[in-house]
Structure 1
Amino acid sequence: MNRPFTRDLPVSTKRTIVRYTGESKVELEDAIATEYALTIFVNDQEMATVVCTPEHLDDLVIGFLFSEGVIRDIRQLEDMTVNLHAGKARVKTSTTVNFNQAFYNKRYIGSCCGKSRQSFYFYNDVHTAKRVEDKTQLSPLDVLTLVNHMEDSANLFQETGGVHVASLCDSDGIIETRMDIGRHNALDKLYGHAVRAGVSLDGKVITFSGRLSSEVVLKVGKIGAAIVLAKSAPTSLAIDIADELNITAIGFVRNGSFNVYTHPWRVIDGRAEESQ
Protein backbone atom coordinates (compact mmCIF):
# COMPACT_ATOMS: atom_id res chain seq x y z
CA MET A 1 0.00 0.00 0.00
CA ASN A 2 1.40 3.41 -0.92
CA ARG A 3 -0.06 5.24 2.07
CA PRO A 4 -2.79 5.02 4.67
CA PHE A 5 -5.21 7.84 5.19
CA THR A 6 -4.81 9.19 8.70
CA ARG A 7 -7.01 12.27 8.92
CA ASP A 8 -9.84 12.05 11.40
CA LEU A 9 -12.99 14.08 11.93
CA PRO A 10 -14.14 15.30 15.36
CA VAL A 11 -15.23 12.27 17.40
CA SER A 12 -17.57 14.26 19.63
CA THR A 13 -19.57 17.47 19.55
CA LYS A 14 -20.81 19.81 22.28
CA ARG A 15 -24.52 20.38 22.72
CA THR A 16 -26.48 22.39 25.24
CA ILE A 17 -28.88 20.11 27.09
CA VAL A 18 -31.32 20.31 29.99
CA ARG A 19 -30.60 17.85 32.80
CA TYR A 20 -33.23 16.93 35.35
CA THR A 21 -32.45 15.68 38.83
CA GLY A 22 -35.78 14.89 40.41
CA GLU A 23 -37.90 18.02 39.96
CA SER A 24 -34.97 20.38 39.51
CA LYS A 25 -33.32 21.12 36.18
CA VAL A 26 -30.14 22.75 34.97
CA GLU A 27 -28.93 23.76 31.51
CA LEU A 28 -25.42 22.60 30.70
CA GLU A 29 -23.07 21.59 27.90
CA ASP A 30 -22.69 17.89 27.14
CA ALA A 31 -20.36 15.88 24.86
CA ILE A 32 -22.10 13.74 22.23
CA ALA A 33 -20.37 10.97 20.26
CA THR A 34 -20.16 11.61 16.51
CA GLU A 35 -21.94 9.21 14.15
CA TYR A 36 -20.46 8.99 10.65
CA ALA A 37 -21.27 6.85 7.59
CA LEU A 38 -18.38 5.53 5.51
CA THR A 39 -19.01 3.62 2.27
CA ILE A 40 -16.21 1.23 1.33
CA PHE A 41 -15.38 0.53 -2.32
CA VAL A 42 -12.96 -2.21 -3.36
CA ASN A 43 -11.54 -1.82 -6.87
CA ASP A 44 -14.44 0.53 -7.67
CA GLN A 45 -17.06 -2.00 -6.51
CA GLU A 46 -19.23 -0.88 -3.60
CA MET A 47 -18.97 -3.34 -0.72
CA ALA A 48 -20.58 -1.89 2.41
CA THR A 49 -21.51 1.24 4.31
CA VAL A 50 -20.19 1.28 7.87
CA VAL A 51 -21.70 3.62 10.47
CA CYS A 52 -18.83 4.48 12.78
CA THR A 53 -16.87 6.91 14.90
CA PRO A 54 -14.67 8.88 12.45
CA GLU A 55 -11.22 8.16 13.85
CA HIS A 56 -8.64 5.49 12.95
CA LEU A 57 -10.51 5.01 9.69
CA ASP A 58 -7.48 3.36 8.09
CA ASP A 59 -7.54 0.69 10.80
CA LEU A 60 -11.29 0.29 10.41
CA VAL A 61 -11.23 -0.29 6.65
CA ILE A 62 -8.28 -2.69 6.76
CA GLY A 63 -9.67 -4.60 9.72
CA PHE A 64 -13.09 -4.84 8.08
CA LEU A 65 -11.65 -6.19 4.82
CA PHE A 66 -9.51 -8.74 6.65
CA SER A 67 -12.39 -9.73 8.91
CA GLU A 68 -14.62 -10.36 5.90
CA GLY A 69 -11.92 -12.31 4.09
CA VAL A 70 -11.80 -9.89 1.16
CA ILE A 71 -8.05 -9.50 1.60
CA ARG A 72 -5.80 -11.91 3.48
CA ASP A 73 -2.36 -10.31 3.16
CA ILE A 74 -1.43 -6.67 3.70
CA ARG A 75 0.67 -6.84 0.53
CA GLN A 76 -2.56 -7.08 -1.47
CA LEU A 77 -3.46 -3.56 -0.38
CA GLU A 78 -1.94 -1.26 -2.99
CA ASP A 79 -3.66 2.03 -2.15
CA MET A 80 -6.40 3.45 0.04
CA THR A 81 -7.95 6.91 0.02
CA VAL A 82 -10.89 8.51 1.76
CA ASN A 83 -13.08 11.44 0.87
CA LEU A 84 -14.08 12.70 4.30
CA HIS A 85 -16.72 15.07 2.92
CA ALA A 86 -18.38 12.39 0.77
CA GLY A 87 -17.91 9.59 3.30
CA LYS A 88 -16.24 7.23 0.84
CA ALA A 89 -13.18 5.01 1.23
CA ARG A 90 -11.66 3.58 -1.93
CA VAL A 91 -9.34 0.60 -1.77
CA LYS A 92 -7.20 -0.64 -4.63
CA THR A 93 -5.68 -4.10 -4.46
CA SER A 94 -2.69 -5.45 -6.35
CA THR A 95 -4.49 -8.73 -6.96
CA THR A 96 -8.02 -9.56 -8.00
CA VAL A 97 -10.35 -10.01 -5.05
CA ASN A 98 -13.84 -11.38 -5.20
CA PHE A 99 -16.79 -11.01 -2.91
CA ASN A 100 -20.35 -11.98 -3.58
CA GLN A 101 -22.71 -9.31 -2.27
CA ALA A 102 -25.52 -11.86 -1.94
CA PHE A 103 -23.33 -14.17 0.16
CA TYR A 104 -21.98 -11.22 2.16
CA ASN A 105 -25.44 -10.48 3.55
CA LYS A 106 -26.79 -14.04 3.57
CA ARG A 107 -27.54 -15.72 6.88
CA TYR A 108 -26.10 -19.20 7.00
CA ILE A 109 -27.29 -22.01 9.27
CA GLY A 110 -24.75 -24.73 9.89
CA SER A 111 -23.68 -27.37 12.35
CA CYS A 112 -20.14 -26.59 13.46
CA CYS A 113 -17.52 -29.16 14.38
CA GLY A 114 -19.96 -31.97 13.74
CA LYS A 115 -22.02 -31.10 16.80
CA SER A 116 -25.75 -31.50 16.89
CA ARG A 117 -26.63 -27.94 17.85
CA GLN A 118 -26.84 -25.36 15.11
CA SER A 119 -25.06 -22.01 15.11
CA PHE A 120 -26.15 -19.03 13.03
CA TYR A 121 -23.48 -17.32 10.97
CA PHE A 122 -23.29 -15.05 8.01
CA TYR A 123 -22.08 -17.03 5.01
CA ASN A 124 -18.69 -15.28 5.04
CA ASP A 125 -18.16 -16.12 8.73
CA VAL A 126 -17.98 -19.83 7.92
CA HIS A 127 -14.84 -19.15 5.88
CA THR A 128 -13.16 -16.52 8.07
CA ALA A 129 -13.84 -17.54 11.70
CA LYS A 130 -11.53 -20.45 12.46
CA ARG A 131 -10.88 -22.53 15.55
CA VAL A 132 -8.26 -20.84 17.77
CA GLU A 133 -5.46 -23.15 18.89
CA ASP A 134 -3.50 -20.61 20.99
CA LYS A 135 -2.79 -21.92 24.51
CA THR A 136 -2.43 -18.48 26.16
CA GLN A 137 -3.32 -18.43 29.87
CA LEU A 138 -4.06 -15.65 32.37
CA SER A 139 -4.25 -15.45 36.13
CA PRO A 140 -7.39 -14.05 37.79
CA LEU A 141 -5.42 -10.91 38.64
CA ASP A 142 -4.45 -10.53 34.96
CA VAL A 143 -8.14 -10.67 33.97
CA LEU A 144 -9.16 -7.94 36.40
CA THR A 145 -6.12 -5.76 35.70
CA LEU A 146 -6.51 -5.81 31.90
CA VAL A 147 -10.16 -4.75 32.04
CA ASN A 148 -9.37 -1.99 34.54
CA HIS A 149 -6.60 -0.70 32.30
CA MET A 150 -8.94 -0.74 29.30
CA GLU A 151 -11.40 1.46 31.18
CA ASP A 152 -8.63 3.85 32.21
CA SER A 153 -7.58 4.28 28.56
CA ALA A 154 -11.13 4.92 27.28
CA ASN A 155 -11.07 8.71 27.11
CA LEU A 156 -13.86 9.06 24.52
CA PHE A 157 -16.14 6.77 26.52
CA GLN A 158 -15.43 8.76 29.67
CA GLU A 159 -16.29 11.96 27.79
CA THR A 160 -19.47 10.83 26.02
CA GLY A 161 -20.59 7.46 27.42
CA GLY A 162 -21.64 6.70 23.84
CA VAL A 163 -19.00 4.35 22.44
CA HIS A 164 -17.77 0.79 22.82
CA VAL A 165 -14.18 0.17 23.88
CA ALA A 166 -11.92 -2.71 22.85
CA SER A 167 -8.27 -3.33 23.66
CA LEU A 168 -5.67 -5.67 22.24
CA CYS A 169 -3.60 -7.02 25.11
CA ASP A 170 -1.14 -9.63 26.26
CA SER A 171 -0.39 -10.78 29.79
CA ASP A 172 1.90 -7.76 30.28
CA GLY A 173 -0.80 -5.17 29.55
CA ILE A 174 -2.60 -3.22 26.86
CA ILE A 175 -1.00 -2.93 23.42
CA GLU A 176 -3.63 -0.73 21.75
CA THR A 177 -7.16 0.55 22.44
CA ARG A 178 -9.84 1.54 19.95
CA MET A 179 -13.31 3.06 20.46
CA ASP A 180 -16.35 3.27 18.23
CA ILE A 181 -20.13 3.66 18.38
CA GLY A 182 -20.29 0.18 16.77
CA ARG A 183 -18.95 -2.70 18.84
CA HIS A 184 -17.89 -4.58 15.69
CA ASN A 185 -16.12 -1.46 14.41
CA ALA A 186 -14.03 -1.16 17.58
CA LEU A 187 -12.84 -4.74 17.04
CA ASP A 188 -12.17 -4.17 13.33
CA LYS A 189 -10.08 -1.14 14.24
CA LEU A 190 -7.97 -3.32 16.55
CA TYR A 191 -7.58 -5.94 13.83
CA GLY A 192 -6.59 -3.30 11.28
CA HIS A 193 -4.03 -1.80 13.64
CA ALA A 194 -2.45 -5.20 14.26
CA VAL A 195 -2.25 -5.94 10.54
CA ARG A 196 -0.82 -2.53 9.60
CA ALA A 197 1.70 -2.53 12.46
CA GLY A 198 2.74 -6.14 11.95
CA VAL A 199 1.71 -7.12 15.48
CA SER A 200 1.77 -10.88 15.99
CA LEU A 201 -1.60 -12.13 17.23
CA ASP A 202 -0.13 -15.11 19.05
CA GLY A 203 -0.73 -14.89 22.79
CA LYS A 204 -3.13 -11.97 22.48
CA VAL A 205 -6.26 -11.18 24.51
CA ILE A 206 -9.21 -8.95 23.63
CA THR A 207 -10.93 -6.86 26.29
CA PHE A 208 -14.33 -5.40 25.54
CA SER A 209 -16.53 -2.88 27.33
CA GLY A 210 -19.95 -4.20 26.45
CA ARG A 211 -22.11 -7.27 26.05
CA LEU A 212 -20.46 -10.42 24.76
CA SER A 213 -22.61 -11.10 21.71
CA SER A 214 -22.19 -13.71 18.99
CA GLU A 215 -20.96 -10.96 16.68
CA VAL A 216 -18.21 -10.00 19.12
CA VAL A 217 -17.07 -13.60 19.57
CA LEU A 218 -16.97 -14.14 15.81
CA LYS A 219 -14.81 -11.04 15.40
CA VAL A 220 -12.47 -12.29 18.15
CA GLY A 221 -12.23 -15.62 16.32
CA LYS A 222 -11.37 -13.88 13.07
CA ILE A 223 -8.66 -11.88 14.81
CA GLY A 224 -7.33 -15.11 16.31
CA ALA A 225 -7.32 -14.15 19.98
CA ALA A 226 -7.74 -17.03 22.42
CA ILE A 227 -9.37 -15.08 25.27
CA VAL A 228 -12.03 -12.37 25.33
CA LEU A 229 -12.82 -10.42 28.50
CA ALA A 230 -16.08 -8.48 28.65
CA LYS A 231 -17.57 -6.10 31.18
CA SER A 232 -21.09 -7.37 30.62
CA ALA A 233 -23.09 -10.54 30.00
CA PRO A 234 -22.75 -13.05 27.17
CA THR A 235 -25.56 -14.40 25.03
CA SER A 236 -26.24 -18.10 24.67
CA LEU A 237 -25.17 -18.07 21.03
CA ALA A 238 -21.94 -16.25 21.91
CA ILE A 239 -21.15 -19.03 24.40
CA ASP A 240 -21.91 -21.73 21.82
CA ILE A 241 -19.65 -20.09 19.24
CA ALA A 242 -16.83 -19.50 21.75
CA ASP A 243 -17.05 -23.15 22.76
CA GLU A 244 -16.83 -24.29 19.14
CA LEU A 245 -14.00 -21.89 18.22
CA ASN A 246 -11.97 -22.85 21.32
CA ILE A 247 -12.14 -19.29 22.71
CA THR A 248 -12.19 -18.64 26.44
CA ALA A 249 -15.15 -16.31 26.99
CA ILE A 250 -15.15 -14.37 30.24
CA GLY A 251 -17.95 -11.99 31.21
CA PHE A 252 -19.13 -9.75 34.03
CA VAL A 253 -15.55 -8.62 34.74
CA ARG A 254 -16.32 -6.05 37.39
CA ASN A 255 -16.01 -5.34 41.11
CA GLY A 256 -13.25 -7.87 41.60
CA SER A 257 -15.04 -10.88 40.09
CA PHE A 258 -15.80 -12.51 36.73
CA ASN A 259 -17.49 -15.53 35.16
CA VAL A 260 -15.70 -17.98 32.86
CA TYR A 261 -18.18 -19.47 30.38
CA THR A 262 -15.99 -21.56 28.06
CA HIS A 263 -12.59 -23.26 28.15
CA PRO A 264 -11.72 -22.37 31.77
CA TRP A 265 -8.34 -24.13 31.49
CA ARG A 266 -6.90 -20.85 30.19
CA VAL A 267 -7.41 -19.21 33.61
CA ILE A 268 -4.78 -20.43 36.08
CA ASP A 269 -5.12 -19.73 39.80
CA GLY A 270 -1.73 -20.70 41.19
CA ARG A 271 -2.42 -24.40 41.38
CA ALA A 272 -1.01 -26.83 38.84
CA GLU A 273 -1.73 -25.55 35.35
CA GLU A 274 -4.44 -27.43 33.56
CA SER A 275 -4.08 -28.39 29.95
CA GLN A 276 -6.64 -29.32 27.43
Structure 2
Amino acid sequence: MAGIVVVFDFDKTIIDVDSDNWVVDGLGATEEFERLLPTMPWNTLMDTMMGELHARGKTAGDVAAVLRAAPLDPCVVDAIKACYGLGCDLRILSDANRFFIETILDHHGLGGYFSEINTNPGAVDGDGRLRIAPYHDFHAAPHGCGLGICPPNMCKGQVLDRIRASAGADKRVIYLGDGRGDYCPSLRLGRGDFMMPRKGFPVWDLICEDPSLLQAEVHPWTDGQEMEETLLRLGGGGGVGGGVLLEARNLPALDCKLESLPAVAVQDGMPMPLRIKN
Protein backbone atom coordinates (compact mmCIF):
# COMPACT_ATOMS: atom_id res chain seq x y z
CA MET A 1 0.00 0.00 0.00
CA ALA A 2 2.97 2.30 -0.42
CA GLY A 3 1.94 5.32 -2.46
CA ILE A 4 -1.38 5.51 -0.62
CA VAL A 5 -2.57 8.30 1.66
CA VAL A 6 -5.15 7.07 4.18
CA VAL A 7 -7.17 9.93 5.67
CA PHE A 8 -9.14 9.14 8.81
CA ASP A 9 -11.88 11.14 10.43
CA PHE A 10 -11.60 10.76 14.23
CA ASP A 11 -14.91 10.84 16.12
CA LYS A 12 -17.06 7.77 15.39
CA THR A 13 -14.39 6.59 12.96
CA ILE A 14 -11.17 5.98 14.90
CA ILE A 15 -12.93 6.12 18.25
CA ASP A 16 -16.49 4.87 18.51
CA VAL A 17 -17.99 7.99 20.15
CA ASP A 18 -18.01 11.75 19.68
CA SER A 19 -15.13 13.00 21.84
CA ASP A 20 -16.83 16.34 22.56
CA ASN A 21 -19.99 14.72 23.92
CA TRP A 22 -17.90 12.12 25.73
CA VAL A 23 -16.04 14.80 27.71
CA VAL A 24 -19.11 16.93 28.41
CA ASP A 25 -21.11 13.93 29.63
CA GLY A 26 -18.19 12.42 31.53
CA LEU A 27 -17.59 15.62 33.50
CA GLY A 28 -21.25 16.21 34.32
CA ALA A 29 -21.92 19.24 32.12
CA THR A 30 -24.57 17.80 29.81
CA GLU A 31 -27.38 20.04 31.03
CA GLU A 32 -25.40 23.23 30.47
CA PHE A 33 -24.24 21.96 27.08
CA GLU A 34 -27.80 21.29 25.92
CA ARG A 35 -28.94 24.69 27.18
CA LEU A 36 -26.28 26.50 25.14
CA LEU A 37 -26.45 24.24 22.07
CA PRO A 38 -29.07 26.30 20.19
CA THR A 39 -27.23 29.57 20.77
CA MET A 40 -23.84 29.23 19.04
CA PRO A 41 -21.78 27.20 16.53
CA TRP A 42 -20.51 23.87 17.85
CA ASN A 43 -16.84 24.82 17.85
CA THR A 44 -17.56 28.00 19.84
CA LEU A 45 -19.77 26.01 22.18
CA MET A 46 -16.98 23.57 23.00
CA ASP A 47 -14.59 26.39 23.90
CA THR A 48 -17.33 27.85 26.08
CA MET A 49 -17.87 24.48 27.77
CA MET A 50 -14.17 24.13 28.52
CA GLY A 51 -14.41 27.51 30.28
CA GLU A 52 -17.46 26.33 32.22
CA LEU A 53 -15.68 23.15 33.31
CA HIS A 54 -12.62 25.16 34.34
CA ALA A 55 -14.85 27.43 36.44
CA ARG A 56 -16.21 24.32 38.15
CA GLY A 57 -12.70 23.32 39.14
CA LYS A 58 -12.16 20.71 36.44
CA THR A 59 -8.58 20.60 35.21
CA ALA A 60 -7.06 19.66 31.87
CA GLY A 61 -5.95 16.50 33.63
CA ASP A 62 -9.57 15.69 34.43
CA VAL A 63 -10.47 16.17 30.75
CA ALA A 64 -7.59 13.93 29.72
CA ALA A 65 -8.63 11.20 32.15
CA VAL A 66 -12.11 11.09 30.62
CA LEU A 67 -10.65 11.01 27.11
CA ARG A 68 -8.41 8.06 27.93
CA ALA A 69 -11.53 6.03 28.71
CA ALA A 70 -13.09 6.65 25.27
CA PRO A 71 -13.77 3.36 23.46
CA LEU A 72 -11.36 2.42 20.68
CA ASP A 73 -11.95 -0.87 18.87
CA PRO A 74 -8.80 -3.08 18.81
CA CYS A 75 -9.54 -3.81 15.14
CA VAL A 76 -9.14 -0.10 14.37
CA VAL A 77 -5.77 -0.14 16.14
CA ASP A 78 -4.75 -3.15 14.06
CA ALA A 79 -5.88 -1.46 10.84
CA ILE A 80 -3.84 1.65 11.61
CA LYS A 81 -0.73 -0.37 12.40
CA ALA A 82 -1.12 -2.61 9.35
CA CYS A 83 -1.47 0.32 6.95
CA TYR A 84 1.49 2.09 8.53
CA GLY A 85 3.58 -1.06 8.30
CA LEU A 86 2.97 -1.22 4.56
CA GLY A 87 4.24 2.31 4.06
CA CYS A 88 0.97 4.23 3.89
CA ASP A 89 0.95 7.91 4.76
CA LEU A 90 -1.68 8.15 7.52
CA ARG A 91 -3.37 11.45 8.30
CA ILE A 92 -6.28 12.63 10.43
CA LEU A 93 -8.87 15.14 9.25
CA SER A 94 -11.29 15.87 12.08
CA ASP A 95 -13.64 18.51 13.47
CA ALA A 96 -12.67 17.53 17.04
CA ASN A 97 -9.58 19.29 18.45
CA ARG A 98 -5.88 18.61 18.82
CA PHE A 99 -5.88 18.19 22.62
CA PHE A 100 -8.60 15.55 22.52
CA ILE A 101 -7.12 13.66 19.57
CA GLU A 102 -3.51 13.64 20.76
CA THR A 103 -4.53 12.61 24.27
CA ILE A 104 -6.40 9.55 22.97
CA LEU A 105 -3.81 8.58 20.36
CA ASP A 106 -0.94 8.86 22.83
CA HIS A 107 -2.84 6.80 25.40
CA HIS A 108 -3.13 3.96 22.88
CA GLY A 109 0.42 4.34 21.56
CA LEU A 110 -0.75 5.55 18.15
CA GLY A 111 0.61 9.10 18.07
CA GLY A 112 3.63 8.21 15.95
CA TYR A 113 1.64 6.50 13.21
CA PHE A 114 0.16 9.70 11.76
CA SER A 115 2.20 12.16 9.73
CA GLU A 116 -0.33 14.96 10.17
CA ILE A 117 -3.36 15.88 12.28
CA ASN A 118 -5.68 18.41 10.68
CA THR A 119 -8.16 19.61 13.29
CA ASN A 120 -9.25 22.55 15.42
CA PRO A 121 -6.50 23.89 17.69
CA GLY A 122 -6.84 22.85 21.31
CA ALA A 123 -4.33 23.69 24.02
CA VAL A 124 -4.10 24.59 27.71
CA ASP A 125 -3.53 28.29 28.41
CA GLY A 126 -1.52 29.88 31.21
CA ASP A 127 -4.45 29.66 33.61
CA GLY A 128 -4.79 25.92 33.07
CA ARG A 129 -7.96 26.32 31.00
CA LEU A 130 -8.35 24.32 27.81
CA ARG A 131 -8.97 26.62 24.86
CA ILE A 132 -10.48 25.36 21.60
CA ALA A 133 -10.23 27.54 18.49
CA PRO A 134 -11.64 27.10 14.98
CA TYR A 135 -9.49 25.53 12.28
CA HIS A 136 -10.70 28.26 9.95
CA ASP A 137 -11.22 31.66 11.56
CA PHE A 138 -14.75 32.22 10.34
CA HIS A 139 -14.95 35.43 12.36
CA ALA A 140 -12.40 36.95 9.99
CA ALA A 141 -13.84 35.52 6.75
CA PRO A 142 -15.88 32.51 5.60
CA HIS A 143 -13.99 29.54 4.20
CA GLY A 144 -15.95 29.89 0.97
CA CYS A 145 -17.15 26.33 0.40
CA GLY A 146 -20.37 26.50 -1.56
CA LEU A 147 -21.70 23.04 -0.74
CA GLY A 148 -23.79 24.29 2.18
CA ILE A 149 -23.05 21.36 4.50
CA CYS A 150 -19.61 22.17 5.92
CA PRO A 151 -19.58 23.87 9.35
CA PRO A 152 -18.22 27.45 9.46
CA ASN A 153 -15.00 26.45 11.22
CA MET A 154 -13.87 23.75 8.79
CA CYS A 155 -14.39 22.67 5.19
CA LYS A 156 -12.87 19.21 5.07
CA GLY A 157 -12.97 19.26 1.27
CA GLN A 158 -10.59 22.22 1.17
CA VAL A 159 -8.29 20.55 3.69
CA LEU A 160 -8.29 17.34 1.64
CA ASP A 161 -7.28 19.34 -1.44
CA ARG A 162 -4.28 20.65 0.51
CA ILE A 163 -3.42 17.14 1.73
CA ARG A 164 -3.46 15.84 -1.82
CA ALA A 165 -1.26 18.70 -3.00
CA SER A 166 1.29 18.09 -0.24
CA ALA A 167 1.32 14.31 -0.74
CA GLY A 168 1.87 14.46 -4.49
CA ALA A 169 -0.35 13.98 -7.52
CA ASP A 170 0.75 10.36 -7.94
CA LYS A 171 -0.68 9.31 -4.56
CA ARG A 172 -4.03 7.59 -4.26
CA VAL A 173 -6.34 8.37 -1.35
CA ILE A 174 -8.48 6.22 0.92
CA TYR A 175 -10.83 8.39 2.98
CA LEU A 176 -12.75 7.13 6.03
CA GLY A 177 -15.49 9.09 7.76
CA ASP A 178 -18.99 9.09 9.18
CA GLY A 179 -20.42 12.61 9.40
CA ARG A 180 -22.01 15.22 7.15
CA GLY A 181 -18.70 17.08 7.08
CA ASP A 182 -17.08 14.06 5.41
CA TYR A 183 -19.34 14.39 2.37
CA CYS A 184 -17.53 17.40 0.88
CA PRO A 185 -14.16 15.59 0.72
CA SER A 186 -15.85 12.51 -0.75
CA LEU A 187 -16.89 14.64 -3.73
CA ARG A 188 -13.26 15.74 -4.25
CA LEU A 189 -11.84 12.23 -4.48
CA GLY A 190 -10.93 11.10 -7.99
CA ARG A 191 -11.03 7.93 -10.01
CA GLY A 192 -8.64 5.44 -8.46
CA ASP A 193 -9.38 6.74 -4.95
CA PHE A 194 -11.59 5.01 -2.38
CA MET A 195 -14.28 6.41 -0.11
CA MET A 196 -15.05 4.39 3.03
CA PRO A 197 -18.22 5.82 4.64
CA ARG A 198 -19.53 4.38 7.88
CA LYS A 199 -22.75 2.67 6.90
CA GLY A 200 -25.92 4.05 8.48
CA PHE A 201 -24.27 7.36 9.41
CA PRO A 202 -24.92 10.79 7.82
CA VAL A 203 -22.19 10.65 5.15
CA TRP A 204 -23.53 7.28 3.98
CA ASP A 205 -27.04 8.69 3.67
CA LEU A 206 -25.80 11.66 1.65
CA ILE A 207 -23.79 9.44 -0.70
CA CYS A 208 -26.78 7.17 -1.25
CA GLU A 209 -28.90 10.11 -2.38
CA ASP A 210 -26.92 10.22 -5.63
CA PRO A 211 -23.90 7.88 -5.78
CA SER A 212 -23.13 9.06 -9.32
CA LEU A 213 -21.79 12.35 -7.91
CA LEU A 214 -18.71 10.51 -6.60
CA GLN A 215 -15.82 9.50 -8.82
CA ALA A 216 -14.17 7.30 -6.17
CA GLU A 217 -15.23 3.73 -5.46
CA VAL A 218 -17.39 3.51 -2.34
CA HIS A 219 -16.66 0.78 0.22
CA PRO A 220 -18.89 1.07 3.33
CA TRP A 221 -18.12 -0.35 6.75
CA THR A 222 -20.11 -0.71 9.96
CA ASP A 223 -17.65 -1.39 12.80
CA GLY A 224 -13.96 -1.74 13.58
CA GLN A 225 -13.71 -5.29 12.29
CA GLU A 226 -15.31 -4.40 8.97
CA MET A 227 -13.16 -1.28 8.70
CA GLU A 228 -10.04 -3.38 9.11
CA GLU A 229 -11.22 -6.05 6.70
CA THR A 230 -12.22 -3.48 4.08
CA LEU A 231 -8.82 -1.79 4.20
CA LEU A 232 -7.17 -5.19 3.85
CA ARG A 233 -9.43 -6.14 0.97
CA LEU A 234 -8.61 -2.91 -0.79
CA GLY A 235 -5.03 -4.12 -0.52
CA GLY A 236 -5.96 -7.15 -2.59
CA GLY A 237 -8.58 -5.71 -4.95
CA GLY A 238 -8.68 -2.44 -6.82
CA GLY A 239 -4.95 -2.50 -7.44
CA VAL A 240 -3.80 -1.12 -4.10
CA GLY A 241 -0.53 -2.53 -2.89
CA GLY A 242 -0.55 -5.72 -4.93
CA GLY A 243 -2.54 -7.66 -2.36
CA VAL A 244 0.20 -7.83 0.25
CA LEU A 245 -2.21 -7.54 3.16
CA LEU A 246 -4.71 -9.82 1.52
CA GLU A 247 -2.16 -12.60 1.23
CA ALA A 248 -1.06 -12.07 4.80
CA ARG A 249 -4.57 -12.33 6.22
CA ASN A 250 -6.10 -14.68 3.57
CA LEU A 251 -9.22 -12.55 3.25
CA PRO A 252 -11.76 -12.92 0.43
CA ALA A 253 -12.01 -10.24 -2.24
CA LEU A 254 -14.48 -7.46 -1.66
CA ASP A 255 -17.11 -6.72 -4.29
CA CYS A 256 -18.69 -3.45 -3.25
CA LYS A 257 -19.04 -1.15 -6.22
CA LEU A 258 -21.13 1.99 -6.37
CA GLU A 259 -23.88 0.26 -8.25
CA SER A 260 -24.25 -2.25 -5.39
CA LEU A 261 -25.21 0.44 -2.89
CA PRO A 262 -28.66 -0.47 -1.55
CA ALA A 263 -31.59 1.87 -1.75
CA VAL A 264 -32.04 3.19 1.78
CA ALA A 265 -33.98 5.94 3.46
CA VAL A 266 -31.80 9.04 3.39
CA GLN A 267 -31.76 12.53 4.75
CA ASP A 268 -32.90 15.42 2.59
CA GLY A 269 -29.34 16.75 2.24
CA MET A 270 -30.29 20.23 3.38
CA PRO A 271 -27.69 22.07 5.48
CA MET A 272 -27.99 21.58 9.22
CA PRO A 273 -27.88 24.52 11.63
CA LEU A 274 -24.38 25.85 12.22
CA ARG A 275 -24.35 24.57 15.78
CA ILE A 276 -24.50 20.94 14.59
CA LYS A 277 -21.18 19.16 14.55
CA ASN A 278 -20.36 17.17 11.42
- Normalization by structure 2: what TM-score? 0.32
**Which of the two has greater strand per residue?**
1
**Which of the two has greater helix per residue?**
2
Bigger relative contact order (CA 8 A; separation at least 6):
2
